[in-house]
Amino acid sequence: MGFVIPSRGSGGVTPGRKGIAIAVAVLGTGWLSGVGAHPTAASSQGPPTGAARPGPAVVAVPPARPDLRSRPRITGGSGAAAHPADLTARLGFLPWPPRAASAAARPRVDCRKVKCIALTFDDGPGPYTAKLLDMLAARHVKATFFLIGGNIRGREAIVRRELAEGHAIGDHSWSHPQLSAMSDGAVRSQLTRTLGEIHRATGGGTPLMRPPYGATNHRVAAVTRHMGMAQILWSVDTNDWLDRNSAIVAHRAVSWARPGGIILMHDIHPTTVNAVPKILVGLAHRGFTFVTVPELFGGRALKPGQVYFDGPVPQRKSPHEQAASHPKGPRGPAASPGAGGPALPPGSPAAPTPGAPSGVGAPTGSARPGG
């Protein structure tokens, strides 16, 4: 039985090949009609005329899968440290700094209407700072810490905790020299190195600085103005660095406090830290509200280079209210103890060396004790 192979027609396509082509076309059309079909996808046909168009939620679009290979490498050892804000963006953790949530919940205080007092602690972080933070947290009190750059290394967690718990931090130089006796470059180096350590520990900076010993002049003012930092001094010097006696320190802090005041202490002395519970109780009993230095000034930006010794004082409605809020006694370190105020503890020394004068923008140029 023989087979006859049909010859090509005038069109150049044999009947057998034509049938195969038709079959392939039919199968291909059916396959293409199913491309993109997904159990969760919307129908390819639009809604009937007049019907409400479905919202974007109808189409389920899976989130883009992160490309781990494109992430920047987090270096270690001698490499550059990763910025905490970058880590937040990459890893999706809580916002940085962690105090953002707690700071938002803290009610705003208007120190023009209430009696505010700002507790400040210099020269830390130190071995007693964590204990001090525990004391402040127990009473929900916020303070301001002026840090020595050389003390931050090894205690970065303490600095982060200060910010996380709603406290404020400032620059207190790298090694506590008398800035008013140094050149512009040396002053700038002292502040810049400490700012670098603060940034390394927290990912941020600070617009506040406190010159060691309160020693400032036009040169320090010019450098800090260029760096965008305000100079924060004090209106009450407890002289805790001189008299290592908790009872004396507590007495001075409580009896010398005035509305809008800034109290100077040092968290590197255990006697000072042990005095804090009595200070908190005494000032609260006198009706003071504890604030940080930024809160003392209502959160407004302070003028770079300017010297601030205290904050705003509430306006009194009557002489009676004014007399009630200003009990007789010493006005800051410049007044001698016992002049109509509460008696000092037995065995206390004579009046301490006068501290910085009160008022914003007081004359500068001389070194003062403390700080």
Q: Which residues are catalytic?
A: 122, 266
Q: Which of 314, 291, 320 is nearest to 114 (CA)?
A: 314
Q: Give, to the nearest 10 degrees, the angle between helix 184-202 and helix 218-227.
A: 40
Q: Is the dihedral of CA 197, 131, 271, 103 positive or negative?
A: positive
What tokens were used for 88?
A: 């937040």
Token look-up 């470059």 returns 185
Question: Any bridge partners for residue 232, and if so which?
Answer: 308
Q: How far apart are the first and last CA of the chain?
A: 118
The Cα–Cα gap between 23 and 18 comes to: 9
Other C-beta atoms within 10 Å of 16: how many?
10
CA nearest 222: which of 214, 231, 213?
Answer: 231
Which DSSP helix (H) or strand (E) runs through 119?
strand 116-124
Paired strand residues for 117: 261, 290
Residue carrying the six token digits 């006198």: 286
Taking the C-alpha atoms of residue 256 and residue 262, their distance in angstroms, rounded to an integer, is: 11
Q: Retrieve residue 44's tokens.
A: 């390819």
d(CA 284, CA 281): 5
